[in-house]
Chain A
Amino acid sequence: MLILTCPCCGVTAEETEFSPGGEAHLKRYGPGSPDRDYESYMFNRKNPRGVHFERWRHTYGCGKWFLAARCTITLEVFGTYRAQTTEPPADIIAAIKARRPEWEGFA
């Protein structure tokens, strides 16, 4: 069972205080968008072996959504950050690179 630190209220807590919300940084495709874009938004998800970006909500705490960068193999958490961004911030990228120099970067 993971432990995560909520960047919104600063609490470090076990997984049962949080709810998972799937892949982070999805782009929404609305009315009029091509089928392929809509399909990718709704149904196609990355399933990497290694660095992954995820949505979490501090359900039993401050109620805020946040994002986490995590390794799906070792469960190492590289960092958590606020959800109001379309891509991982520089300090998170740097933290991942420091631990996974071979990582190809956020795409």
Chain B
Amino acid sequence: MSHRLPKGGRLIDRSKSQNFTFNGKSMAGFQGDTVAASLLANDQMLLGRSFKYHRPRGVVAAGAEEPNALLGLGQSNRYEPNQSATTTELFDGLEAVSQNHWPSLEFDLLSVNNLVPQFLTAGFYYKTFLRPRAFWKHVYEPLIRRSAGLGKAPAPDARDPDRYEQIYAFTDILVLGGGIAGLQAALAAGQSGAKVTLWEQTAHWGGRAPVDGAQIDGQPAQDWINATVARLHAMDNVQLRTRCMGAGVHDHGYVLGYERVADHMPGADTPRHRLWRMRARQIITATGAIERPLSFAGNDVPGVMLASALRDYIVNYAVAPGARIVVVTNNDDAYRSAIAAHDAGLDVAAIIDPRAVASGDLPARARALGIEVLEGRAIRKVKGGKRVTGVEICRQDSSGGAVERSIDCDAVAMSGGWSPVVHLWSHCGGKLLWDEAGSYFRPDPARPPLGADGAGFVRACGAANGELLDVLSDAHRCARMAADAVGANGQPDAAPQATAPAEAPMQPVWMMPAQASYDLRMKMWLDYQNDVKVSDVQLSAREGYQSVEHTKRYTTLGMATDQGKLSNINGLAILSDALGQPIPATGTTTFRPPYTPISIAAIAGEARGAIFQPLRRSPVHDWHADHGAEWEPVGQWRRPFAYLRTGESRHDAVNREVKNTRENVGLLDASTLGKILVRGPDAGRFLDMLYTNMISTLKPGKCRYGLMCNENGFLMDDGVVARLDGDSFLVHTTSGGADHIHAWMEDWLQCEWWDWQVHTVNLTEQFAQFAVVGPKARVLLDRLGGMDVSRDALPFMEWRDGMLGGFDARVFRISFSGELSFEIAVPAGQGRAFWDRLVTEGADLGLMPYGTEALHILRAEKGFIMIGDETDGTVIPQDLGLDWAISKKKADFLGKRGMEREAMVNPDRWKLVGVETLDGSVLPHAALAVTGGKNANGQAQTEGRVTSTYYSANLGRGIAMALVRNGPDRMGDVLSFAGDDGKDIKARIIDPVLIDKEGAKQNV
């Protein structure tokens, strides 16, 4: 059984007990434990069920590579599924639950999948659920949904109460990984004078050197680590950060760092995660290496773990994964685990070594301790279900038919050799070499990821570089090269010397025994989390999958949350063997960020709640909010859709606003309209190019409505231009179009007509602008006083500057409703006071503010188009009957060439008309006029579509505009519009101008 040892544990503080629960059961651990360590200390070997077969699973690893030990952590709003027990620090009050079982962890009905594993072989999903088709929805999908997947999502109404943030940082040299390689690299780089940042993903410096018993400069590794960390802390040019993982290396030295600030102290008044958006000139990966499992039957039974993990648990946490241990290894390093177990007082039953001879220093030391070493042998099979009970031994060079011996044990420590962590090197295009001696891929220094200057910007060092033994001098050399690359030329101290026992060569062992029979191979797990076995990869090769990328997707090898950290090389080796080619010919799958999963909340950062996105507020936003405004998003602006009075529906409010504006006076906040000053000797010429109509002939003091098209000739924006003086024009754009049109102007001025003398200034936010609209509009303005706004003093389509009621005003006599109408601009800072004044002065005139819906209805009653309703990026002005606004005199304007194309002059284009339903009802939005036939694709034939549709309170019926084939020539025709309920709606083509066609109302 797994248990806590009576003494030892370099990372735990036995004086600080931490209580937690697992599946509701109370347990205790110590401060410094990981969740995995504390569970093992409580003899909780079984932690979850596998993805496909629901096999019982326990801890395999002690770090980021763990595939099995995924738990649901926390409660309600803080519940999170799929959290790794090996990388989560224990804290008092932690609540953990196991995942992927039904009804319980101990008794899982779905483990029936396990009894017939032939059923779920590679490509199972592709092959099995094809027929009958009707079964998919009612049988297969519910079944798969119950049996597959890992943790459960948090409740839909759960809201994460924690804070998250991002931060931008810059450094010369970023060192990723705080083991002895990373520490030495940071020290040497720091001593060179460069600005250095060092990140370590765990809470501790030094990596696994202290566990492995290394000596550095004649002292224990831990002493050197402590001294080096102290030296680094004392250097002003070095920043160190623990619990911060280099998650991804991206173009031009961009690195994402995932800092788990407060995962170990939930509820603390700090951000929980912080995402570092680091820009580094040089990156040193000191990410170490990951031990590989061995492929033998039953290598997934709880109690089988990596040899390095076993000694991590013993040395770091004083946790013994078992009382009687078998070590199985193809290399000398794992003998350290046997020695560590023996030193901790545990019974090491045997070391099984497939090599013919194990004669290095470490095997000799193990033998000297009395541990039996079985050379040339293999584990044939692990015995046990929910935990290991023993192993069967056979010859490695066999099919496993003959069991030589059985050994009782409750833990198996396995090692298939080590693989450098090349992920961060590879993320941005760094290439790999195959290392025959170590049977792993290592970074190819000749083909690094390239930066903005075309030079390599990532260097791997130590074990991450494939230098498993000569770690410190490799890190030192690497740091000096990085320092050179950033121009830091201080002289670092000499590299320290590490001493360790000599190790004999490892022997690649991809299957155990070497000629294992099928029944053994189908119990050899490569990818624990996704339940991919040796037999699955072999099957995919037989079925013709040759590319490693295809095999990955067919078998799901390496596609789980651990992204194949343990399974990658073993799977490649099996595939290569099946394909009869060397491993480098097979190659690897692509390493993609993040290195381990990072929280979505960290990616979102601060962008949530009130600052999820910027909301643009007009100077009178608060007044609107205080007076019942329902909001309509217009770009990032929020404009009042309508102002709801107490007890009033939206519909009622809109009708009231529409009627009141035509009968009394309405007030519209038009501050969001774009206002761009265009000024300079060539301003008129420039605007003649931008607008389809002539602008340069406009006289100062006057306004003109104009259209802007893109170079396709498609209508893009519209608005009123006012000429301020000989050189100056004020261009009004749509609310959503201001930034785009300003950028569009600057593009042409900077990139095409750069010799034209024109300046633009975006004045959109300088002014609050209000429309005072309706028969009593002039009365209201006269009350304010200060400016003559009479018909003669301020005719239609003119503007005047002056003081109005004591405010600095520019008054435009323009109308988007057909009513007597003034738009008044005042400096934004005066906007609220001016609005309040209008509301007060207008009260007894029946003044009511109106929103965007009333604005739309008022303009539709007059047949005025709206950009975004009547236009959709494929409509030319001629489609809308706006030929009058297209100059025939101008040799050129933007869009003119586009309008010359055949399709644009086709007489059959859909053109704008009004339509009214025969029964007075309101047409559905975007309804299509159907002719009854079908087109070549079997779709209904159409001859038009609704672009705007409203209920008009003034007319007492539905009104609409539509684009209809030859529409203007078909006045009076009745069309059939497809209704939402499948029934057609009859509507007659009419003139779109429904109110005051002569313009009498606005010209008073």
Chain A contact residues, CB within 8 Å of chain B: 1-3, 14, 21, 28-33, 35, 38, 41-42, 55, 57, 59, 63-65, 71, 74-77, 83-84, 99
Task: Please tell me if the beta carbons of A3 and B279 are within 8 angstroms of each other in the complex.
Answer: yes
Task: Please tell me if the beta carbons of B450 and A42 are within 8 angstroms of each other in the complex.
Answer: no
Task: Please tell me if the beta carbons of A38 and B452 are within 8 angstroms of each other in the complex.
Answer: no
CB distance from A3 to the nearest CB of B (A): 5
Question: How distant is the Cα of A84 from the Cα of B712 in the complex, in angstroms?
Answer: 24
Question: How distant is the Cα of A55 from the Cα of B750 in the complex, in angstroms?
Answer: 11
CB distance from B430 to the nearest CB of A (A): 12
* Interface residue from A35, A42, A84 paired with B750 (Cβ < 8 Å): A84
Most chain B CB within a 10 A radius of its CB, from A31, A32, A33 = A31
Closest to B711 in A: A42
Task: Please tell me if the beta carbons of A65 and B747 are within 8 angstroms of each other in the complex.
Answer: yes
Task: Please tell me if the beta carbons of A83 and B754 are within 8 angstroms of each other in the complex.
Answer: yes
Per-position 1/0 for B881-918, Cβ under 8 A of A: 00000000001100011101100000000000000000
Task: Please tell me if the beta carbons of B711 and A74 are within 8 angstroms of each other in the complex.
Answer: no
- Assuming the contacts A42-B711, A84-B754, asked whether A3 and B252 have C-beta atoms less than 8 A apart, the reply is yes
* Interface residue from A1, A32, A35 paired with B250 (Cβ < 8 Å): A1
* Interface residue from B254, B750, B898 paired with A1 (Cβ < 8 Å): B254
Q: Which residues of A contact B754 (CB under 8 A)?
A: 83-84
Task: Please tell me if the beta carbons of A75 and B450 are within 8 angstroms of each other in the complex.
Answer: yes
- Assuming the contacts A1-B250, A14-B254, asked whether A76 and B892 have C-beta atoms less than 8 A apart, the reply is no
> In B499-524, which residues have CB < 8 Å from any A CB?
none
* Interface residue from B452, B747, B892 paired with A77 (Cβ < 8 Å): B452
B743 adjacent to chain A (CB < 8 Å) = yes
B751 adjacent to chain A (CB < 8 Å) = yes
Q: Which residues of B contact A55 (CB under 8 A)?
A: 751
Q: Which residues of A contact B279 (CB under 8 A)?
A: 3, 14
Q: Which residues of A contact B747 (CB under 8 A)?
A: 21, 57, 65
Question: How distant is the Cα of A71 from the Cα of B451 in the complex, in angstroms?
Answer: 11
B746 adjacent to chain A (CB < 8 Å) = yes
Question: How distant is the Cα of A69 from the Cα of B253 in the complex, in angstroms?
Answer: 19
* Interface residue from A31, A65, A77 paired with B900 (Cβ < 8 Å): A31
* Interface residue from B253, B450, B750, B752 paired with A74 (Cβ < 8 Å): B450
Question: How distant is the Cα of A31 from the Cα of B892 in the complex, in angstroms?
Answer: 6
Q: Which residues of B contact A74 (CB under 8 A)?
A: 450, 454
Q: Which residues of A contact B254 (CB under 8 A)?
A: 1, 3, 14
Task: Please tell me if the beta carbons of B896 and A42 are within 8 angstroms of each other in the complex.
Answer: no
CB distance from A77 to the nearest CB of B (A): 5
B223 adjacent to chain A (CB < 8 Å) = no
Instruction: Give the dominant DSSP class at B's interface.
Output: mixed
Task: Please tell me if the beta carbons of B897 and A33 are within 8 angstroms of each other in the complex.
Answer: yes
22 contacts between A and B (CB under 8 A): A1-B250, A1-B254, A3-B279, A3-B452, A14-B254, A21-B747, A29-B897, A31-B892, A31-B897, A35-B901, A41-B711, A42-B711, A42-B898, A63-B746, A65-B746, A65-B750, A74-B450, A76-B452, A76-B453, A83-B750, A84-B751, A84-B754
The count of residues in chain B whose C-beta lies closer than 8 Å to any C-beta of chain A is 27
Task: Please tell me if the beta carbons of B452 and A64 are within 8 angstroms of each other in the complex.
Answer: no
Closest to A74 in B: B450
Question: How distant is the Cα of A74 from the Cα of B448 in the complex, in angstroms?
Answer: 11
CB distance from A98 to the nearest CB of B (A): 10
Closest to B712 in A: A42
Closest to B739 in A: A59
Question: How distant is the Cα of A77 from the Cα of B752 in the complex, in angstroms?
Answer: 24
CB distance from A68 to the nearest CB of B (A): 11
CB distance from B871 to the nearest CB of A (A): 19
CB distance from B255 to the nearest CB of A (A): 10
Per-position 1/0 for B248-262, Cβ under 8 A of A: 001111100000000
Closest to A13 in B: B279
Per-position 1/0 for B692-714, Cβ under 8 A of A: 00000000000000000001100
Closest to B429 in A: A74
Question: How distant is the Cα of A33 from the Cα of B19 in the complex, in angstroms?
Answer: 80
Q: Which residues of B contact A83 (CB under 8 A)?
A: 750-751, 754
> In B710-767, which residues have CB < 8 Å from any A CB?
711-712, 743, 746-747, 750-752, 754
CB distance from B65 to the nearest CB of A (A): 28
Task: Please tell me if the beta carbons of A2 and B251 are within 8 angstroms of each other in the complex.
Answer: yes
Per-position 1/0 for B428-464, Cβ under 8 A of A: 0000000000000000000000111110000000000
CB distance from A62 to the nearest CB of B (A): 11
Closest to B252 in A: A3
Most chain A CB within a 10 A radius of its CB, from B750, B892, B896 = B750
CB distance from B562 to the nearest CB of A (A): 26
Question: How distant is the Cα of A1 from the Cα of B752 in the complex, in angstroms?
Answer: 28
Closest to A77 in B: B452
* Interface residue from A14, A31, A57 paired with B743 (Cβ < 8 Å): A57
Q: Which residues of B contact A63 (CB under 8 A)?
A: 746
Closest to B747 in A: A65
Closest to A65 in B: B750
Question: How distant is the Cα of A21 from the Cα of B711 in the complex, in angstroms?
Answer: 15
Q: Which residues of A contact B712 (CB under 8 A)?
A: 42
Per-position 1/0 for B452-491, Cβ under 8 A of A: 1110000000000000000000000000000000000000
CB distance from A22 to the nearest CB of B (A): 11
Per-position 1/0 for B536-562, Cβ under 8 A of A: 000000000000000000000000000
Known contacts A41-B711, A57-B743, A76-B450, then 15 further A-B pairs from the complex at CB < 8 Å, ordered by chain A residue: A1-B250, A1-B254, A2-B251, A3-B252, A3-B279, A30-B892, A31-B897, A42-B712, A63-B746, A65-B747, A65-B750, A74-B450, A75-B251, A84-B751, A99-B454
Question: How distant is the Cα of A55 from the Cα of B900 in the complex, in angstroms?
Answer: 28
Task: Please tell me if the beta carbons of A38 and B897 are within 8 angstroms of each other in the complex.
Answer: yes
Q: Which residues of B contact A57 (CB under 8 A)?
A: 743, 747
Q: Which residues of A contact B898 (CB under 8 A)?
A: 38, 42
> In B983-1001, which residues have CB < 8 Å from any A CB?
none
